[in-house]
Protein backbone atom coordinates (compact mmCIF):
# COMPACT_ATOMS: atom_id res chain seq x y z
CA UNK A 1 0.00 0.00 0.00
CA UNK A 2 1.11 3.57 -0.69
CA UNK A 3 -0.65 6.87 -0.14
CA UNK A 4 -0.84 10.37 1.29
CA UNK A 5 -1.83 11.44 4.79
CA UNK A 6 -2.45 15.09 5.69
CA UNK A 7 -2.01 16.15 9.30
CA UNK A 8 -4.33 19.04 10.12
CA UNK A 9 -5.53 20.90 13.20
CA UNK A 10 -5.48 24.27 14.89
CA UNK A 11 -2.11 25.67 15.99
CA UNK A 12 -0.33 23.99 18.92
CA UNK A 13 -2.25 20.71 19.04
CA UNK A 14 1.02 18.92 18.25
CA UNK A 15 0.91 18.26 14.50
CA UNK A 16 4.61 18.80 13.87
CA UNK A 17 5.64 16.80 16.93
CA UNK A 18 3.40 13.97 15.75
CA UNK A 19 4.83 13.95 12.27
CA UNK A 20 8.37 13.86 13.62
CA UNK A 21 7.50 10.70 15.56
CA UNK A 22 5.57 9.15 12.68
CA UNK A 23 8.51 9.31 10.36
CA UNK A 24 11.13 8.99 13.07
CA UNK A 25 13.06 12.08 12.10
CA UNK A 26 13.14 15.69 13.11
CA UNK A 27 12.31 17.34 9.82
CA UNK A 28 9.40 19.52 10.87
CA UNK A 29 9.69 22.54 13.14
CA UNK A 30 7.97 22.34 16.52
CA UNK A 31 7.53 25.23 18.88
CA UNK A 32 5.36 26.61 21.65
CA UNK A 33 4.74 29.60 19.43
CA UNK A 34 1.86 29.44 16.95
CA UNK A 35 2.61 29.89 13.25
CA UNK A 36 6.06 28.28 13.43
CA UNK A 37 5.23 26.00 10.51
CA UNK A 38 4.70 28.17 7.49
CA UNK A 39 5.04 25.70 4.69
CA UNK A 40 3.90 22.17 4.18
CA UNK A 41 6.59 19.67 4.95
CA UNK A 42 6.40 16.11 3.74
CA UNK A 43 7.95 13.08 5.35
CA UNK A 44 7.85 9.49 4.24
CA UNK A 45 7.34 6.43 6.43
CA UNK A 46 8.20 3.09 4.85
CA UNK A 47 7.99 -0.46 6.16
CA UNK A 48 7.48 -3.95 4.69
CA UNK A 49 3.76 -3.44 4.07
CA UNK A 50 3.25 0.23 3.28
CA UNK A 51 4.58 3.63 2.37
CA UNK A 52 2.87 6.65 3.90
CA UNK A 53 3.66 10.16 2.70
CA UNK A 54 2.83 12.68 5.40
CA UNK A 55 1.95 16.29 4.78
CA UNK A 56 2.32 18.56 7.78
CA UNK A 57 0.36 21.79 7.54
CA UNK A 58 0.43 25.21 9.12
CA UNK A 59 -2.47 25.56 11.57
CA UNK A 60 -5.60 27.15 10.18
CA UNK A 61 -5.56 30.75 11.35
CA UNK A 62 -8.95 31.58 12.72
CA UNK A 63 -8.48 34.65 14.92
CA UNK A 64 -8.18 37.37 12.33
CA UNK A 65 -7.60 37.92 8.66
CA UNK A 66 -4.39 39.35 7.34
CA UNK A 67 -2.13 38.60 4.41
CA UNK A 68 0.00 36.03 6.25
CA UNK A 69 -2.99 34.16 7.69
CA UNK A 70 -4.70 34.08 4.31
CA UNK A 71 -1.59 32.56 2.81
CA UNK A 72 -1.29 29.98 5.57
CA UNK A 73 -4.90 28.94 5.03
CA UNK A 74 -4.33 28.66 1.30
CA UNK A 75 -1.35 26.40 1.93
CA UNK A 76 -3.49 24.15 4.14
CA UNK A 77 -6.22 23.81 1.54
CA UNK A 78 -3.58 22.95 -1.02
CA UNK A 79 -1.94 20.42 1.29
CA UNK A 80 -5.13 18.45 2.00
CA UNK A 81 -6.46 18.28 -1.55
CA UNK A 82 -6.05 14.85 -3.05
CA UNK A 83 -4.77 13.01 0.03
CA UNK A 84 -6.10 9.54 0.90
CA UNK A 85 -6.87 10.28 4.53
CA UNK A 86 -6.77 13.29 6.84
CA UNK A 87 -5.49 12.97 10.39
CA UNK A 88 -7.40 15.65 12.31
CA UNK A 89 -5.44 16.36 15.49
CA UNK A 90 -6.91 17.80 18.68
CA UNK A 91 -5.76 18.03 22.29
CA UNK A 92 -7.20 15.57 24.77
CA UNK A 93 -10.03 17.06 26.85
CA UNK A 94 -10.04 20.26 24.83
CA UNK A 95 -12.28 20.68 21.76
CA UNK A 96 -12.71 24.32 20.83
CA UNK A 97 -14.37 26.49 18.20
CA UNK A 98 -10.96 26.86 16.56
CA UNK A 99 -10.95 23.08 16.07
CA UNK A 100 -14.47 23.22 14.62
CA UNK A 101 -13.44 25.90 12.12
CA UNK A 102 -10.69 23.60 10.82
CA UNK A 103 -13.12 20.67 10.52
CA UNK A 104 -15.53 22.80 8.46
CA UNK A 105 -12.82 23.53 5.90
CA UNK A 106 -11.92 19.92 5.17
CA UNK A 107 -12.90 18.40 1.82
CA UNK A 108 -16.18 16.47 1.96
CA UNK A 109 -15.12 13.22 0.33
CA UNK A 110 -11.86 12.47 2.11
CA UNK A 111 -11.98 10.22 5.20
CA UNK A 112 -11.03 12.04 8.40
CA UNK A 113 -9.46 10.16 11.30
CA UNK A 114 -9.77 11.82 14.71
CA UNK A 115 -6.38 11.84 16.46
CA UNK A 116 -6.55 12.80 20.12
CA UNK A 117 -3.07 13.92 21.16
CA UNK A 118 -1.48 14.79 24.52
CA UNK A 119 -2.99 11.84 26.39
CA UNK A 120 0.03 12.07 28.72
CA UNK A 121 -1.52 15.15 30.34
CA UNK A 122 -2.99 14.73 33.82
CA UNK A 123 -6.51 15.71 32.80
CA UNK A 124 -6.52 12.93 30.18
CA UNK A 125 -5.48 10.17 32.56
CA UNK A 126 -9.03 9.37 33.68
CA UNK A 127 -9.93 6.72 31.07
CA UNK A 128 -13.71 7.08 31.32
CA UNK A 129 -13.48 10.88 31.09
CA UNK A 130 -11.28 10.52 28.00
CA UNK A 131 -13.73 8.05 26.43
CA UNK A 132 -16.63 10.41 27.14
CA UNK A 133 -14.68 13.31 25.62
CA UNK A 134 -13.97 11.30 22.45
CA UNK A 135 -17.64 10.30 22.17
CA UNK A 136 -18.68 13.96 22.41
CA UNK A 137 -16.29 14.99 19.64
CA UNK A 138 -17.33 12.08 17.43
CA UNK A 139 -20.98 13.09 17.82
CA UNK A 140 -20.21 16.37 16.05
CA UNK A 141 -18.61 15.01 12.88
CA UNK A 142 -18.65 11.84 10.81
CA UNK A 143 -15.10 10.65 11.55
CA UNK A 144 -13.81 7.51 9.88
CA UNK A 145 -12.33 6.44 13.22
CA UNK A 146 -10.47 7.70 16.28
CA UNK A 147 -7.06 7.12 17.82
CA UNK A 148 -5.31 8.46 20.90
CA UNK A 149 -1.59 9.29 21.04
CA UNK A 150 1.04 11.22 22.89
CA UNK A 151 3.23 12.70 20.17
CA UNK A 152 5.67 14.15 22.68
CA UNK A 153 6.22 10.83 24.44
CA UNK A 154 5.86 8.65 21.35
CA UNK A 155 2.89 6.73 22.77
CA UNK A 156 0.65 4.64 20.44
CA UNK A 157 2.40 5.96 17.33
CA UNK A 158 2.80 2.47 15.82
CA UNK A 159 -0.87 1.92 16.51
CA UNK A 160 -1.80 5.08 14.62
CA UNK A 161 0.31 3.97 11.64
CA UNK A 162 -1.57 0.65 11.51
CA UNK A 163 -4.92 2.44 11.67
CA UNK A 164 -3.93 4.70 8.76
CA UNK A 165 -2.78 1.91 6.40
CA UNK A 166 -6.23 0.60 5.36
CA UNK A 167 -7.14 4.07 4.03
CA UNK A 168 -4.34 4.04 1.47
P1 LIG B 1 1.58 22.33 15.94
O2 LIG B 1 1.44 23.81 15.99
O3 LIG B 1 0.22 21.66 15.89
O4 LIG B 1 2.49 21.82 14.87
O5 LIG B 1 2.18 21.88 17.37
P6 LIG B 1 3.70 21.52 17.78
O7 LIG B 1 4.04 20.15 17.31
O8 LIG B 1 4.60 22.62 17.38
O9 LIG B 1 3.53 21.42 19.36
C10 LIG B 1 3.02 22.52 20.12
C11 LIG B 1 3.36 22.33 21.60
O12 LIG B 1 2.68 21.17 22.13
C13 LIG B 1 4.86 22.06 21.82
O14 LIG B 1 5.24 22.74 23.01
C15 LIG B 1 4.91 20.55 22.02
O16 LIG B 1 6.01 20.14 22.81
C17 LIG B 1 3.60 20.27 22.72
N18 LIG B 1 3.13 18.88 22.51
C19 LIG B 1 3.02 18.21 21.34
N20 LIG B 1 2.61 16.96 21.53
C21 LIG B 1 2.43 16.79 22.86
C22 LIG B 1 2.02 15.68 23.69
O23 LIG B 1 1.74 14.58 23.24
N24 LIG B 1 1.93 15.94 25.03
C25 LIG B 1 2.25 17.14 25.58
N26 LIG B 1 2.14 17.25 26.90
N27 LIG B 1 2.65 18.20 24.83
C28 LIG B 1 2.75 18.02 23.49
MG1 LIG C 1 3.45 22.83 13.34
Q: What is the pLDDT of residue 44?
A: 87
- Whole-Å CA distances, 142 to 111, 123, 135, 146: 9, 25, 12, 11
Q: Is the CB of 118 under 6 A from ligand 1?
A: yes
Could you state, in order of their start, the residue ranges of all structural domains in the chain? 2-167
The pLDDT tens digits of the residues spanning 33-73 come to: 555 555 565 788 988 999 998 887 665 555 667 776 666 66
Question: Which of 152, 155, 160 gets mutated to test ligand 1 (max ligand atoms within 8 A of its CB)?
Answer: 152
Mean pLDDT, the chain, rounded, equals 86
Q: Whose CA is nearest to atom 13 of ligand 1?
A: 32
Q: What is the pLDDT of residues 88-125, one digit of tens each?
A: 999 999 999 999 988 988 988 999 999 999 999 999 99
Contacting residues for 27 by C-beta, under 8 A, at least 6 apart: 19, 20, 41, 43
Residues near ion ligand 2 (Cβ under 5 Å): 15-16, 37
CATH topology classification for 2-167: Rossmann fold (3.40.50)
Among 12-16, 53-57, 146-150, the minimum mean pLDDT is found in: 53-57
* Nearest atom, ligand 1, residue 30 CA: 8
Closest ligand relative to 156 C-alpha = 1
Which amino acid residue places its CA nearest to atom 16 of ligand 1?
A: 152
Q: Is the minimum distance from the CB of 32 to ligand 1 under 6 angstroms?
A: yes
What local confidence, expressed as pLDDT, does residue 41 receive?
58
Q: Alpha-carbon distance 78 to 135, whole Å?
A: 30
Determine whether the shortest distance from the Cβ of 58 to ligand 1 is under 6 A.
no
pLDDT over 90 percentage in the chain: 53
Contact 20 CB / ligand 1 (< 6 Å): no
pLDDT surpassing 90 at residue 29: no
Cα separation, 44 vs 162, whole angstroms? 15
ipTM of the complex: 0.99
- Three-state SS at 121: coil
- Contact, 16 vs 40, CB < 8 A? no
| CA pair distance 84, 4, nearest whole angstrom | 5
pLDDT at 105: 85
Ligand of minimum distance to the alpha carbon of 12? 1
Amino acid sequence: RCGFVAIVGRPNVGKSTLMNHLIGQKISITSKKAQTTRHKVTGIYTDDTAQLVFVDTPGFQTNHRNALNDRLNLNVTEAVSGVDVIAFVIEAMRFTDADRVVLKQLPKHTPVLLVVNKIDKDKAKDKSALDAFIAEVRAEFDFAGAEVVSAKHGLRIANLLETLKPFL
